[in-house]
Amino acid sequence: MAGSKKDFNSVIRVAMILCLAFAGATPLSASAVATDAVISGDKSRTSFTMMLSQGVTVELFTLANPYRVIIDMPDVAFQLPKAAGRTGKGLIKAYRYGLFAARKARVVIDTVLPVGIEKAELLAAGKGAVRLEVSLKSIDSVAFGAGTGANKSAEGRSKRVSKLKTKRGASRPVVVIDPGHGGVDPGALGKSNVYEKDVVLAVAKLLRGKLEKSKAYTVKMTRTGDVFVPLDKRLEFSEENNADLFISLHADSIADRRYASRVRGATVYTLSAKASDETARQMAEKENNADAIAGLRRMDDEDDGDVRDILIDLVKRETANFSADFSNALVGRLRERVRLSSKPQRSAAFKVLKQTRTPSVLVELGYLSNSEDEKSLTSASWRTKVTKSIAKAVDAYFDRRTVLAR
C-alpha cells in the first residue's frame, strides 16, 4: 500500500481548495473502482484511506448538522468489503458510499466531532492505481464554520473558483434557473396587467447574465421565451443538465383584496412532504396547478406519495440538506437589499422541487396583488438588486462546498 519515494513526486496537491486531480489520470473511458478503505488514528487525528484502480478527480468538503465529510468523485464503482463503513474509529463514526447521481459517486463520512480536513492527497500506488488519503483532525465548532468557507470574502472566493476552474476544466457547477409559467399559463396577474410569467422571465435573464459574468457557473434556463413548459419537463431539464442547483422564480398574488395592501415581500420555499403552514400549502397547490391551467392532466394522486418517497431516501436527504443550506444563504442575502414577507422561509410539496439529486428552491419574489411590490417587480433597479442578492447567495452556497486546505 505504501507509495515509494518516486511515486510521491507525482502527487498533485491543490493548496487552496480540496479538489484533487491525479497527474497520471487516464481519460475516463472506464470507471475507477474503489477496492478497499481503511480508517486509522485516534480522536485527535484520524485518517481515511481509499484504494482506487485509477486516478480520479476528487472534491471534498465538510457539513454540519450532523458533522460529515463528503468526498465526491465522478465515475467510481464501489467494490468494498461488505461490512465497510459500518463501524468507524477515532473521529470517524461510520461512512457510507454509493452513487449520488448518474456518474457521481459519493462517500459520506459521519464524524463524532467537528473535524477539519487537514490534508487530502492522491498518491500513486502502482499499476495505475492510486490511494486517496484524507487526514482529519478534531476542531471546535467555531473553526468548523470558518473551514466551510462560508465567511470568506468575495475576493477569496473568486481566487478559489478560478483554481477550481483550472482543475476541473469544463465541469463548472451547473445552475438551472426556472422562470415559472409561460405561454398559455400567465401565472399571477398584477393590478396593472403585469403578468407573473413576464416578470420572472425578465428577472431570470438578468440573473443568468450576472452568474455567467462570474465565469464560475454554467447557467441554463428551463425557458427563455414566452412558452409553456410542463412541470415534469422542468424536472427533466434539471436532471438532463445534471444541475447542481435549481432556482425556480415566481411572483405571487392574493385574491382577497382586503389583505392585498398589507401582504408583500419575497419568500423562499423548499420541498417538504408536509407544508410548513397553511399559506405554504395553498401556495404549492396553486403552483402545482400550472399544468392544469395549461390544459394538461393533473396527477394529484401520486403527488404526496412521491414527496414522501423522496424524503425518506438517504441520498435525497443530502439533497434536502443542501436545499436548506441554499435557502438560508438566499434569505440572508435577500434581506440585505429587498423586502421579505412576514415569514420568508417556508416549505411545501411543490412539484417542481421534487428533485432527487439537485438541491432546489422556489422563490416567490413578491406579490403582484400589492401595488408597491408590483412597482418593485417591474422596476429595473429592484430587479438589479434582487438578482445581485440571488447571485451572491449562489456564490456563498458553492463556497461552502469547497474547503480550504490548512
Q: Interface with Zn ion by CB under 5 A: which residues?
A: 180, 187, 250
CA distance 92 to 314: 19
In terms of CB distance, is 180 or 190 closer to Zn ion?
180
Q: Report residue 194 as a C-alpha cell.
A: 403585469
In terms of CB distance, is 138 or 248 closer to Zn ion?
248
In terms of CB distance, is 68 or 181 closer to Zn ion?
181
Q: Which residue is associated with the grid cell 468548523?
A: 144
In terms of CB distance, is 88 or 186 closer to Zn ion?
186
In terms of CB distance, is 149 or 344 closer to Zn ion?
344
Least Å from the CB of residue 283 to Zn ion:
9
Q: Report residue 394 as a C-alpha cell.
A: 449562489
CA distance 247 to 355: 12
Least Å from the CB of residue 250 to Zn ion:
3
CA distance 117 to 266: 37
Q: Which residue is associated with the grid cell 449562489?
A: 394
In terms of CB distance, is 49 or 378 closer to Zn ion?
378
End-to-end CA distance of the chain: 25
Taking residue 282's Cβ as centre, other Cβ atoms within 10 Å add up to: 13
Least Å from the CB of residue 290 to Zn ion:
7
In terms of CB distance, is 59 or 252 closer to Zn ion?
252
In terms of CB distance, is 15 or 255 closer to Zn ion?
255
Q: State the amino acid at position 212 in one-letter form.
A: E
Q: Report residue 333 as a C-alpha cell.
A: 442575502
Q: Where are the alpha helices (DSSP H) in 195-313?
A: 196-213, 231-240, 257-260, 278-288, 290-293, 300-312
Least Å from the CB of residue 144 to Zn ion:
38
Nearest to 324 by CA among 349, 351, 361: 361
* Residue 403 φ then ψ, to 5°: -125, 140
CA distance 9 to 352: 49
Least Å from the CB of residue 324 to Zn ion:
22
CA distance 383 to 315: 35
CA distance 68 to 169: 27
Which residue is at the shortest CB distance from Zn ion?
Answer: 250
Least Å from the CB of residue 334 to Zn ion:
17
Least Å from the CB of residue 286 to Zn ion:
7
What are the counts of helices (DSSP H) followed by strands (DSSP E) for the chain?
12, 16
Least Å from the CB of residue 219 to Zn ion:
21
Least Å from the CB of residue 126 to Zn ion:
57
In terms of CB distance, is 56 or 231 closer to Zn ion?
231
Q: Taking a C-beta distance cutoff of 8 angstroms, is the pair 204, 179 a contact?
A: yes
Residues forming a β-bridge with 376: none
